[in-house]
Structure 1
Amino acid sequence: MNIVQALFVPGYSSFYFDDQQAIKNGAGHDGFVYLGQPVTKGFQTVRQAGECVSVMLLLENGAVALGDCAAVQYSGAGGRDPLFLAKDFIPFLERHIKPLLEGRSVASFLANARYFDTLEIEGQRLHTALRYGITQALLDASALARQVTKTEILLEEYGLPFIAAPIPLFAQSGDDRYSAVDKMLLKRVDALPHGLINNVPDKLGFQGEKLEAYIRWLSNRVEQLRPDSHYRPTLHIDVYGTIGLIFDNDPTMMADYIASLQKAAGSLELYIEGPVDVGSKEAQIETMANITRRLRQIGSPVKLVADEWCNTYEDIVDFTAAQCCHMVQIKTPDLGGIHNIVDSVLHCQQHGMEAYQGGTCNETDVSARTCVHLALAARPMRLLVKPGMGFDEGMNIVNNEMQRTLALIQARRAAE
């Protein structure tokens, strides 16, 4: 079956683009917006509306396949592609990509995904957001053509077994890091709360005391609200490199502080994501490795998660080879073609690295649902609840898509 027509439609994503460096530099709040001038190229303000481009592929059977081009909240930071604005990219899609999509067979998802992921126009690969959305639509097109779920397309083309069990979910709180936790506990989320610790004076503390107090509150709140003794969520907190800021990127000092946080976490497992950002991939790997080595030397059970500078499949391979952390975030929009997400999870599994299939609050319902199917095929250790920062909406989208898909595949297989 072939694609008859390709359409590109501008839209909003589920959150906002934020200038991470300006926030780290101390941009203050004024209500929901940030004060001060942006410092990252492309930003007009420190916080601005998130955008997406929907790719719609009309098929010969009348079905319409969907994919959303979207980029992370902190675009242009940590080695990522620059800010993604619809007005800048729709003319490019119409001119260069539309002719390549229309008339194309959707018989093989992987062949199509690899083609567009490696395609160069005027000597440049496509922006990661474009590759992300185009390949989502191509996966949907293959599934609609064969009248199966997207999970089944991936299982078949990768030769993977179907496992009829949900993926553990990881929820993010945004700045609402207290009441959101209560919501997460009521819905028995497996890992929480992300926390958005992206500022030293307000959230981390100049000696790290505010994060320590927050983790202690988390542990106590779990004890207060958990419905039974069997429910013990993992604590997973993203600190956006701020620990490095208060300890001058000294690996020993950072490791000792991180290890001390386990006391506040009590018996709950603790993961700290992005403790430091030293400005390049090579330096990031070296510094993270030194922190991880020190944690092992002192017998700390706290685990580190790589985020900044670990963006592409190739980056994930390099971080894994160095064993410089315990878990890598597979930040889905940063990988471009969605097949790279599956490849990354499988690589981690084969090389002793925990895989967290993440992404961003700044995605859409379409990309979030697609990511569920990638996870059900590849089986990462945890899956981010997204999009948005409201928790309940993302939980509805991700959890329900996962449960529906598992039920449908099981029913089909029982009927065979």
Structure 2
Amino acid sequence: MEITGIHATPGYSGFFFDDQRAIKQGAQQDGFTYEGEPVTDGFDEIRQAGETIIVDIELADGTVVRGDCAAVQYSGAGGRDPLFQAEEYAPVVEGPVADELVGRDATEFLANAELLEELQVEGDRLHTAIRYGVSQALLAAAAEAENTTQTDVIADALGTEPATEPVPVFGQSGDDRYNNTEKMFVKGVPVLPHALINSVEKIGENGEVLLEYVEWLVERSQELGPDGYEPRFHIDVYGMIGEIFGAPYDRDEVVDYFAALEEAAAPFPIQIEGPMDVGNRADQIDAMVELREGLKDAGVGVDIVADEWCNTFEDVQAFVDAGAADLVQVKTPDLGGIHRSGQAVRYCEGTETRAYLGGTCNETETSARACAHVALATNAAQVLAKPGMGFDEGYMIVENEMRRTIARRKREQQTTDSDTDEITADD
């Protein structure tokens, strides 16, 4: 079925854009916003409303499908593309992108998505957010044209066998790390709570505050969770363990702290995201390898998760090849086309590294649903509940999309099996 039109409408995403450089340089919070002047190009304020471009693709039969362009909360930081401004980039979608894709066969998802990855405007590749959003719409178009699920389209494109049960969802609490986490316990969320441990105050000068929080997680999870609840704890420390202990990361003091985290979390597994941030990819990989080896030698069973300096597909490859993490976060908007996230998950297959299909709170319900299909198609280790920082909405969106897709695939398989049985009986 032919693509007959592509339209772009500026809209809002699920959270905010924050000028990370200004915040790291000491900008003070003023209620929900920040005082001071932004320092990253494109920002008018240190915190400003997140934006999206709603991409509508029209098909020859009149059907309209959608994808949403989105960029991460800390847009424009750490080597990422510039701040994503919808009004600026909408003409690109309706101009060069539409010129390239209108008239193409909607069923050719992978070819269309790869074409988008290579497209250049005035010598530059398209902004990652554009590739991300338009590829979602291309995925939806292929599924519609083939009367199948987006999961099946991705699985066919990547050569995978989709999961038959929902991928474990990872809930993110934001700063409301007690109330939101209790919500997660009540709903039996399998991986939680993120907790946003991004300051010495939140971790403690010697790590004692985080240890107390982990002990609370264990106790409260069993009080509030469903019968037989066995959560996996995943905490993002934003490099703060490196801040309070420093290198080298395989020395006794550091390893002993991870052993204490493991003991506090027992009997449940715990994984720590971004244990340090040393300023560049090569040194970050070396530090993570050093920590992993120290933990392994000491028999400490805490998994570590790559986040800082692991943004692009090439970054994921580098961390996996070096054995620098037990999990890598695949930050979906930073990889561009949504198929690239699926390819990044697949790159972890056959290695010691598991794939966490992540992203950002600053996405939309449309992009979150698309990512749920990627998670199912690739059977990722876990998938982020998104968008927003309130937990409930993102969890509902991602979990329900996976459940309805699995139910549909089972119904269709039963119908196929029944038809096959009837043909066999007639023979």
TM class by shorter chain equals over 0.9
- Alignment partner of 1:355: what SS? strand
Q: Which runs of 5+ in 2 are unaligned?
A: 417-427
Rounded to whole Å, the distance in 1 between the matches of 2:44 and 2:265 is: 40
Counterpart mapping for 1:157-236 below 5 A: 157-201=157-201, 203-228=202-227, 230-236=228-234
Equivalent position amino acid for 1:267 in 2: P
Partner of 1:15: 15
Counterpart mapping for 1:120-159 below 5 A: 120-159=120-159
**What is the CA-CA distance between 1:23 and the residue it aligns to?**
3.0
**What is the CA-CA distance between 1:299 and the residue it aligns to?**
1.4
Q: Deviation string for 1:22-47 (max 9, x for gaps)?
A: 33444332221123333333322221
- Alignment partner of 2:299: what SS? coil
- Alignment partner of 2:363: what SS? coil
Farther-moved stretch of structure 1 (353-362 vs 259-268):
259-268
**What is the CA-CA distance between 1:255 and the residue it aligns to?**
4.2
Q: Deviation string for 1:316-342 (max 9, x for gaps)?
A: 111101001111001111110111111
Farther-moved stretch of structure 1 (60-69 vs 98-107):
98-107
Equivalent position amino acid for 2:205 in 1: F
**What is the CA-CA distance between 1:313 and the residue it aligns to?**
1.6
Computed over aligned residues only, the root mean square deviation of the Cα atoms, in angstroms, reads 1.6
Partner of 2:244: 246
Equivalent position amino acid for 1:392 in 2: D
Rounded to whole Å, the distance in 1 between the matches of 2:78 and 2:277 is: 8
Give the TM-score normalised by the residue count of structure 2: 0.93
Partner of 2:420: none
Rounded to whole Å, the distance in 1 between the matches of 2:209 and 2:386 is: 26
**What is the CA-CA distance between 1:258 and the residue it aligns to?**
3.1
Change in Cα spacing, 1:245 to 1:371, as seen in structure 2 (3 Å) is same
Q: Deviation string for 1:180-226 (max 9, x for gaps)?
A: 0111011100000011112223x223322222222222122113222
Matched, 1:101 2:85: no
Rounded to whole Å, the distance in 1 between the matches of 2:199 and 2:20 is: 10
Equivalent position amino acid for 1:390 in 2: G
Asked if the contact 1:26–1:199 (Cα under 8 Å) also holds between the matched residues in 2, the reply is no
Asked if the contact 1:79–1:308 (Cα under 8 Å) also holds between the matched residues in 2, the reply is no
Partner of 1:305: 305
Rounded to whole Å, the distance in 1 between the matches of 2:261 and 2:160 is: 39
Rounded to whole Å, the distance in 1 between the matches of 2:260 and 2:36 is: 35
Rounded to whole Å, the distance in 2 between the matches of 1:2 and 1:285 is: 45
Rounded to whole Å, the distance in 2 between the matches of 1:351 and 1:266 is: 26
Give the TM-score normalised by the residue count of structure 1: 0.95
Rounded to whole Å, the distance in 1 between the matches of 2:88 and 2:199 is: 31
Q: Which runs of 5+ in 1 are unaligned?
A: none
Rounded to whole Å, the distance in 2 between the matches of 1:79 and 1:50 is: 19
Rounded to whole Å, the distance in 2 between the matches of 1:159 and 1:95 is: 32
- Alignment partner of 1:350: what SS? coil
Q: Deviation string for 1:280-300 (max 9, x for gaps)?
A: 111111111111111112211
Equivalent position amino acid for 1:360 in 2: T
Rounded to whole Å, the distance in 2 between the matches of 1:198 and 1:310 is: 18
**What is the CA-CA distance between 1:102 and the residue it aligns to?**
1.8
Rounded to whole Å, the distance in 1 between the matches of 2:32 and 2:68 is: 26
